[in-house]
Amino acid sequence: MSKYTTVGPEDIDPGEFIPDIKHEDLRSQWQQGDWTRYVSMRIERALSWLEQAERSAEERDYFLAFISYWISYNSLYGKYQPKYRKHRQNRRGVPEAEQKEYKMQEEFHKKISECKNGKGLQGISRILTEKRRVVEGIVCHEFLSQPHWNYLHFEAYGHGEAEEPEWRSSKGWKNWLDKDKKSLDEFLRRLDANPGDTDAVKEILDLLFTKRIYTLRSQVIHGGSVRGRITSSEDVFMEERGYTNISQVSRSAKIMVFLIPLFIKVVMENPRKDLWSNPGSPVIDRGDARLRQ
């Protein structure tokens, strides 16, 4: 008997991985635009990984698609960070290094939600409500909740990230999960009533990316996941028993396929140099005519 079982059809329908905006359209706009140096650098990096993500999704390699979408997203929000203390944690049990990452993402979501030029923000609001089933499936999934993993780490190892009393029982992480579920319900209702509610957009993006997808990203990138497979003979997405990451990856990629191009679109529609911080790993001199100070 095979040790692989199929994931439900809702997680593998290729039609749900067709973006509203493709990288070719955004690249054409970027090539014709007049950008400041570092805004252009962010856009170019994000577009390069968006192209790879689209190609991987077409090939139904959802793990590589997920990783590529995340790097594209990271290209937009990331910035140089000074040294930090690695082991200090907050109430959710998040180390200081990750707290800084959270802060960068949340600052980016706030900027995105406040950008009124163009139609990118309107598109983000529409996707969050139209794809609410996917959004709810991600935010309400216990295995994407960092407090839940803090509890599991303590249960498995008896030390580490769950040293705080709050993580020594299931009650702690369940309280956090219930709180996040209620917050998501509230913000989705607000968005239904007013698609222009920028605070609701920002808070949903925080729940979706910072408090959920980032946890999955860390598991995948740091070797805490088994890679998913597609068998060419059956043309179905297979999941190894005992591992839930695979369906979570496909579900996360399913929402990123729509949101990441819209994030890039918002940046391109609002390219003010003072709005987007300088990216990490700057290119000093490329002789690119599209780049100017």
Task: Taking residues 115-130, report their average pLDDT.
Answer: 92
Tokens at residue 246, please? 């695979």
Task: Taking residues 47-59, report their average pLDDT.
Answer: 94
pLDDT at 77: 94
If you average pLDDT over each of 8-17, 46-55, 163-172, which comes out highest?
46-55
204 vs 218, more confident:
204
Each as own residue / partner, the long-range contacts of residues 94-102 (CB below 8 Å, 24 or more positions apart, any chain) are 94/146, 95/161, 98/214, 98/218, 101/214, 102/210, 102/214
Residue 236 has pLDDT above 80, yes or no: no
Q: 247 and 7 in contact (C-beta within 8 Å)? A: yes
pLDDT band, very low/low/confident/very high, at 2 (cuts 50, 70, 90): very low
Residue 1 has pLDDT above 50, yes or no: no
| Cα–Cα distance, 199 to 207 (Å, whole number) | 12
High-pLDDT (> 90) share of the chain, % = 43
| CB crowding 204-232: b at 16 or more within 10 Å, else e | bbbbbbbbbbbbbbebbeeeebeebeeee
pLDDT at 278: 78
Dump strand ranges (E) for the chain.
Answer: 4-6, 35-36, 229-231, 236-240, 291-292
The answer to which of 21-35, 65-79, 88-102, 268-282 has the lowest mean pLDDT is: 88-102
19 vs 68, more confident:
68
The answer to which of 36-45, 86-95, 98-107 has the lowest mean pLDDT is: 86-95
